[in-house]
Amino acid sequence: MEKDYRQYNEIAEFLKVLAHPVRLCIVKGLLKSGGCNVSYIQSCLGAPQSTISQHLQKLRAAGIIEGTRNGTEICYRVVNDKVAELIKIFFE
């Protein structure tokens, strides 16, 4: 084992982003649907749009998802293959 934990910091921070039930649900749903907008996610989860947007921002900042703008609508999708693999391991 190594005493220098700095190299693990990035992975730990990445896992912290995923370690929230709503964010796990969002990522799982995006993988299942292939992508969707905030309104769809909001209707599925029954949470306020502002709450969903905050979770999406954290996922986007961590490089887990990205959004594609189409007019006023943004369609989000998972772009991180490691996350897709983790979700598969966790839920299948």
Low-confidence ranges of the chain (pLDDT < 50): none
The domain of 10 spans: 6-91
CATH of the domain at 11: 1.10.10.10
pLDDT digit string, tens, across residues 9-22: 888 988 999 999 99
What's the rounded Cα separation, in Å, for the pair 35 and 33? Answer: 5
**Domain assignment present for 36:** yes
Query: In the prediction, which pLDDT does 25 show?
Result: 93
**Domain assignment present for 17:** yes
Query: In the prediction, which pLDDT does 59 show?
Result: 97
**Domain assignment present for 63:** yes
* Residue 32 neighbours by CB under 8 Å, 6+ apart: none
Total number of domains in the chain: 1
What's the rounded Cα separation, in Å, for the pair 16 and 11? Answer: 9
**Domain assignment present for 1:** no
**Domain assignment present for 22:** yes
Query: In the prediction, which pLDDT does 1 show?
Result: 65
